[in-house]
Chain A
């Protein structure tokens, strides 16, 4: 039986960049015990001799000609930005204090 502890869920939430309340962490860890049991059934038939399928179409490296096409203007591209400055996206600090 697979299960996830509250701390496991907290670690996954950190990796997925979603802050979660204590209530959410605990209830998700309970739900995952049930969900993981259900989805683990795939292991019953997934033997080593079966090739995996990642996609329904047998495509590989689809290229297009390297031609410049009309694209969004700067103002269009920035139209949904939460914050902007001097025709650029303004984002919170990414690097630590110097």
Chain B
């Protein structure tokens, strides 16, 4: 698309309109979008076309449309984070990610659906109803960024932004046959990202192939003085890596603990097949061990709720968002109680209460304090393993997409989805998921996860590009060409 735009074969306005039409025709079935900014997108596209006509030098992705996860603020555009407590809110400022997208002339089509405040693995926790997986509309598109992944798979947008706290970019990518990257923590600014768990949250690119993800990665990453946890160092050369895909001599470490029991057979078949292809491409496959990963899930479900119980205290009905129960003689406390009762969904309440408990005096050391120690042990596991290999790999998820409603009443079963993605967030390193094929038993996409040390994000793109090229040769066409046709309107 970028090439056709640069060559003048198509205008950004025409390209944007094609995607808006596609959204109109299929999104009643998919429900990837919470808000479609038709006017804003077309105006931005027209501005890019004018710049190009005037001969201005433009960024590689200039004029290409994108779907933005609704957790990112965009000035004057409704931003809800999937919650009723922010229904109708139009932020008075742009997040840094949006500022960077605008600087690269990337056209923002609208805001995508997500689990409320990014808490979930299925997008069923959205206050605005679930998103449906384009591979099978009765199944989940992953979460929390299910809207972004579904928009890519349904050809409603060629690029999307996600955020990943425990796997919310990678798991949706895995179950929809798309590519999703969680960069190193601090690589992309969190300014304007509505906070869930500040020490784990990281925005990143979602796309249909590795090179597109790399181009978007370079567009949004970089130091930002408005995020005190932003890394002040050059952005790794991920585009060059994605173009090269040379893995000769690279050591790829298979995580012993993230395979085997609990992993669906088709997931294991595709994972093994990918390893063979990488070996053929010249990489050396070694086994590495990370004994403390089995505690990652437990630690995550203490750390993330603890941080969220603090972060979500800002929704107090005073300065923005919903206010319930205001009136003559009503106290601030009763207004807060009633607003948060009405504005938060079940999972959000569950996590706030759990976090409040884990941080309370008398239980702090046993729960939050112990979880922090596990975080140290997981980071040490990664450090040791990376002495033996350049990247680590695993299946992204234990299973393919499950049915909508199948796990919504069992929080523990739902949490287990993220067993392979969470360690990456705990250590603040990079993780990528790309399609490894379809599971033979159910014909649904399987994800392959690549993990790289902090600030070595380019290694994920090297390996991702090599595997993608080998699989493309094997398949003869991209995986998404096998997706069933959406009937639309």
Contacts and interface: CB of A to CB of B under 8 A. Distances in A.
Given A19-B337, A82-B321, A72 B332 contact: no
Contact of B92 (A20, A52, A62, A79): A79
A53 B379 contact: yes
A43 interface: yes
A26 interface: no
Contact of A12 (B90, B297, B319, B356): B356
Interface in A67-90: 72, 76-77, 79-83, 89
Interface in B373-393: 373-377, 379
Counting chain B CB atoms within 10 Å of each CB, the highest count among A15, A17, A59 belongs to A17
B32 interface: no
A63 B360 CA distance: 30
Contacts, number: 169
Contacts of B336: 17
A5 B106 CA distance: 52
Contact of B367 (A12, A39, A79, A80): A39
A76 B15 CA distance: 33
A1 interface: no
B318 interface: yes
Contact of A24 (B349, B352, B428): B349
Contacts of A47: 373
A62 B377 contact: no
Contact of B301 (A8, A39, A44): A39
B98 interface: no
Interface in A1-45: 4, 8-9, 12-13, 15-20, 24, 28, 31-32, 34-35, 38-45
Contact of A55 (B199, B295, B337): B199
Given A53-B376, A56-B454, A43 B352 contact: no
Interface string B331-369: 111111110110010000110111011101000001101
B295 A41 contact: yes
Nearest to A64: B225
Given A17-B336, A50-B377, A57-B186, A81 B352 contact: no
A5 to B, nearest CB: 12
Contact of B353 (A13, A42, A76): A13
Contacts of B186: 56-57
Contacts of B341: 18-20
B373 A16 contact: no
Given A15-B356, A18-B344, A57-B186, A92 B335 contact: yes
Given A13-B353, A18-B349, A42 B326 contact: no
A93 to B, nearest CB: 6
Contact of B369 (A52, A55, A56, A57): A52
A43 B371 CA distance: 8
Nearest to A65: B225
A52 B352 CA distance: 22
A24 B349 CA distance: 10
Given A53-B372, A80-B321, A42 B352 contact: no
B301 A38 contact: yes
B93 interface: yes
Contact of A52 (B323, B367, B376): B376
B316 interface: yes
Contacts of B91: 80
A56 B337 contact: no
A92 B332 contact: yes
B427 interface: yes
A35 B351 CA distance: 11
B309 interface: yes
B330 interface: yes
B322 interface: yes
Contacts of B411: 31, 34-35
A51 interface: yes
A41 to B, nearest CB: 4
Given A42-B299, A56-B428, A80-B92, A28 B338 contact: no
Contacts of B228: 59, 62
B349 A92 contact: no
Contacts of A94: 331-332
Contacts of A91: 318, 332
Contacts of B90: 79-80
A35 B337 CA distance: 24
Interface in B290-335: 292, 295, 297-299, 301-302, 309, 313, 316-323, 326, 329-335
Interface of A: 4, 8-9, 12-13, 15-20, 24, 28, 31-32, 34-35, 38-47, 50-57, 59, 62, 64, 72, 76-77, 79-83, 89, 91-94
Given A38-B301, A42-B298, A46-B370, 12 more contacts: A12-B357, A32-B353, A32-B357, A38-B415, A42-B370, A42-B374, A45-B374, A51-B376, A52-B375, A77-B92, A81-B320, A93-B330
Top 9 nearest A-B pairs by Cβ distance? A56-B428, A80-B320, A52-B372, A82-B323, A46-B370, A46-B373, A62-B228, A76-B92, A19-B337
Interface of B: 89-93, 185-186, 199, 225, 228-229, 231, 292, 295, 297-299, 301-302, 309, 313, 316-323, 326, 329-338, 340-341, 344, 349-350, 352-354, 356-358, 360, 366-367, 369-377, 379, 411-412, 415, 426-429, 454
